[in-house]
Amino acid sequence: MALAVSHLVGGYSQIPVLKDISFDVQPGELVGLIGLNGAGKSTTINHIIGLLTPMKGSIKLNGVTLASDPQQYKQQLAYIPETPILYEELTLKEHLEMTMLAYGLDQTAAWKRAHELLTIFRLDNKLDWFPANFSKGMKQKVMIVCAFLTNAKLFIIDEPFLGLDPLAVHDLLHLIETVKKQGASVLMSTHVLDTAEKFCDRFVLLHAGEIQTQGTFDEIKAHYPDAGDSLNDIYLTLTGVTRDE
């Protein structure tokens, strides 16, 4: 088991946002973290990447907690945030070099991989560009390249489809399939439920800081036969949201 979240209670203040949630992401699996704004998706991700400390419960990555071995925990993890975070004073090339150093990657192999990724996302002629020269979509592509440059065991991808053109979305989904086949785990938070329905192996549906349901699409559909035929319909039904709201 790559990621194991067990009885997690947490949030930003004394009043917990997350109320005893438990789920896992297995090696070679893409799990969709689904929920309305305020459901607790970002809070969950911030706990997993170590920006927040659990009030109760545990988060383990291949048996390692952040507290027991911070370096080993973090080196197993790659994160693509919803809003790109780049250093304005560093070029694209320097961002890649910093990623290689942070993860202790072999330079020769890493640069070979980097050039493959840069070509896929049409950034191969922009190594000397600074973030100020990039559009939001291009900045997102830089974050994707840096993440998939690593040998992470777990990729956490937060709302990846915002700002990406259709070709880049296709390329990202292909990359996700590739790392899955190599045994990596992927946790993806998204509002684009039709895409999630097609590509995710399992789902964790959050609502008001609690897990409403989890499982494969077929399992969820069988458990709630009257909720609808699509993931979007099922989610709206389970959260009590009507189309008129």
pLDDT in tens, 143-169: 999 999 999 999 999 998 888 899 999
- What residue ranges do the domains of the chain occupy? 1-76+154-217, 87-151
CB-facing half-sphere around the CA of 145: CA atoms within 13 A: 32
Supply angle C-alpha 96, 99, 100, rounded to 5. 90
- CA pair distance 187, 43, nearest whole angstrom: 14
Q: Which one-letter DSSP state was computed for residue 91?
A: -
CATH of 1-76+154-217, one of 3.40.718.10, 1.10.1040.10, 3.30.390.30, 3.40.50.300: 3.40.50.300
Amino acid 169: pLDDT? 93
**Using an 8 Å Cβ cutoff, are 185 and 25 in contact?**
yes
Q: Taking Cα atoms as reference points, which of 209, 177, 178, 164 lies closest to residue 33?
A: 209
Amino acid 238: pLDDT? 82
Amino acid 244: pLDDT? 44
pTM, entire model: 0.93
Which segments of the chain have a pLDDT < 70? 241-245
Amino acid 153: pLDDT? 96
Question: Which secondary structure element, helix H or strand E, spans residue 120, and what is its range?
Answer: helix 107-120
Amino acid 23: pLDDT? 97
Amino acid 241: pLDDT? 58
- CA pair distance 180, 227, nearest whole angstrom: 30
Q: Taking Cα atoms as reference points, which of 158, 159, 243, 241 lies closest to residue 207?
A: 241
Each residue's pLDDT tens digit, 106-117: 999 999 999 999
